[in-house]
Amino acid sequence: MKNIHKKLFAIGLLALFLFVGCTKDFEEMNISPNDPPEVPTAYLLTSAQKGLIAFMWDEWWAGRFGNLYSQYWTQTSYTDESRYKYRDGVNNNYWIYFYAGRDATPDGSLNGGGLMDLQRIIQLNTDEETKEKMSQYGSNANQIAVAKILKSWMYQILTDTWGYVPYEQALQGETIKQPGYTAQDVIYSDLIVKLNEAVSEIDESAKGVTGDIIYKGDMSLWKKFANSLKLRIAIRMSYANTSKAQEVITASWEGAFASNADNAHFDFEAGTPNNNPLNQNQKERTDFAVAKPLMDIMNERNDPRRLFFANYPVNDSGTFIGFPYGMAQDEATPLSNNDFCMPGDCVYAPTAPGMLMNYSEVCFIMAEAAERFGIGGSAQTWYENGIRANMEMWNSFLELSNLNAFYRLDNPDPRPTPVAIHDTTITKYLEEPMVAWGSADALELIGTQKYLALYPQGLQAWFEYTRTGYPNTLLLPGETVEEYNYTFSPLIAIDHIPYRMEYPSEEQTLNGTSYQAAVAAQGADNMSTKLWWDKK
């Protein structure tokens, strides 16, 4: 995090040009790159949103981590990550990116962001010397609330990835160079506090925030997002602290997302460098195929989302065939990509959105809350609404501009176009034997459909699988896939899907005392140490 204050101006300025254009008063701002308090908070907000979401949605963190560990995707060659041998340099880099952000790269493909930008927004809107000037970018209270909400979203992902992480002492710059780690249960409790504060601070009658790509300054939607995040936090912790989870859900669900119009999405643009990072990656490499475990689940249920999630294999225009998950490199490389499903055009489109949270997830959270705790009405209604909402969301992606016109390295034109999922198709799907509601296996139904609805948010699907064990058909280490005559053999000693990621190695050298204390409290720094909420 060193020198981050010196970098903020360059990052924020680039982000503003990329996304929100010049303001009419730009020449009058007299901004000095060596005077961080003068950095407009609109720049910082754009920088934080673009940076955090672009890193979260790129070929490394989404492609080679989240979408692999959830078994949404697998690697078609160079298969180490799908066998749980991650690249330590990547682990180190993304820890830094999420906390501190990153300088603009020469081609502008990844830039800015980080929790530090959000922390600066809070500071600049709190400090008596700067808050009046910063109020031109939205009321001070609204800016602080938005920063708290985004910090909470990011911190939950960090702690669900690693467990104990720097939190209470983080983002202090030169003041605390070696921040201590905070226990996950403490982080969870404080995230709820921060989100409650944000909801209370939001003033819908005051000026909304500027530089906001996600909700364009609509504070009513930020309030719904905050309440929805509380639901995500509560259900995640519900086996570890049931009473608190029930309390939070009861207090929050009526203020959460109520339709797909509320979804928290970051809209990428059609051209480089502002296109979806996965779109950019697939122009150059064919690393990923849709994994057999996901495709099998969808095929068994005749799922109409298949052509949104995946393209037909080039050599088979009518069947969805998933690539075998976690093969050794010498087993995977001889297989032709043309024989298997690649990620769908709606996922790889330049303008495919970066998803922070969707209404369908709220529905499945409430289905579980209704089934387990009797909160919020009918579990069946929430469950069916979640399926319907997710299919309707994918329908809306049919309207992505030039959907079938962008270049793809892995599939030649013409490519199949997804067909809108009509109400009659959704009704028929809800009657499928493996989909139809049944109270005897309600939690399995909810968990499996939630897994499908989270696609392609691989990290969230991995977290939920770890918490619930659903879907219970994912491939486990040591299992043999007879169809392809191979055994899933990770490159580390493990007999389960990982429970967490190991800490970056640089933490051991740069922040060794704090690292050692965290390991002593949490457990061994390996993928078999369970997180605090993993109690089922």
365-391 confidence digits (pLDDT tens): 999 999 999 999 999 999 999 999 999
Of 27-36, 59-68, 93-102, 222-231, the poorest mean pLDDT is in 27-36
Q: Is the per-residue pLDDT at 1 higher than 50? A: no
Q: What is the mean pLDDT of residues 198-226?
A: 97
Q: Is the per-residue pLDDT at 76 higher than 80? A: yes
What pLDDT sits at residue 404?
60
What pLDDT sits at residue 318?
86
Q: Is the per-residue pLDDT at 211 higher than 50? A: yes
Predicted model pTM: 0.92
**pLDDT tens across 244-260, in order?**
999 999 999 999 999 99
Q: Is the per-residue pLDDT at 439 higher than 90? A: no
What is the pLDDT confidence band of residue 400, given thresholds at 50, 70 and 90? low
Q: 288 in helix, strand or coil?
A: strand
What pLDDT sits at residue 414?
72
> Which residue from 55, 208, 231 is spatially nearest to 137, judged by alpha carbons?
208
The mean pLDDT value of the chain amounts to 90
How far is residue 382 from each of residues 154, 236, 239, measured CA to CA in Å?
27, 18, 20
Q: Which helix (H) or strand (E) holds 166?
A: strand 165-166
**Measured distance CA(462)–CA(366) in Å, rounded:** 19
* C-alpha dihedral, 254 to 256 to 260 to 266, nearest 10°: 170
What pLDDT sits at residue 315?
87
What pLDDT sits at residue 110?
46
Q: Is the per-residue pLDDT at 131 higher than 50? A: yes
Cβ 484 vs Cβ 152: under 8 Å: no
How far is residue 68 from each of residues 62, 153, 322, 325, measured CA to CA in Å?
8, 21, 13, 9
Q: Is the per-residue pLDDT at 4 higher than 60? A: no
What pLDDT sits at residue 154?
98
Instruction: Report phi then psi at 481, rounded to 5.
Output: -100, 100
What is the pLDDT confidence band of residue 317, given thresholds at 50, 70 and 90? confident
Cβ 344 vs Cβ 323: under 8 Å: no
Class of the CATH domain delimited by 1-216+275-356+401-412+453-536:
mainly alpha
* Cβ burial 69-96 (10 Å sphere, 16+ → b, else e): bbbbbbbbeebebbbbebeeeebbbbbe
Counting Cα atoms < 13 Å in the Cβ hemisphere of 472 gives 7
| Type of residue found at 113 | G
**Measured distance CA(153)–CA(174) in Å, rounded:** 25
Q: What is the mean pLDDT of residues 473-494?
A: 97
What is the pLDDT confidence band of residue 208, given thresholds at 50, 70 and 90? very high
What pLDDT sits at residue 352?
94
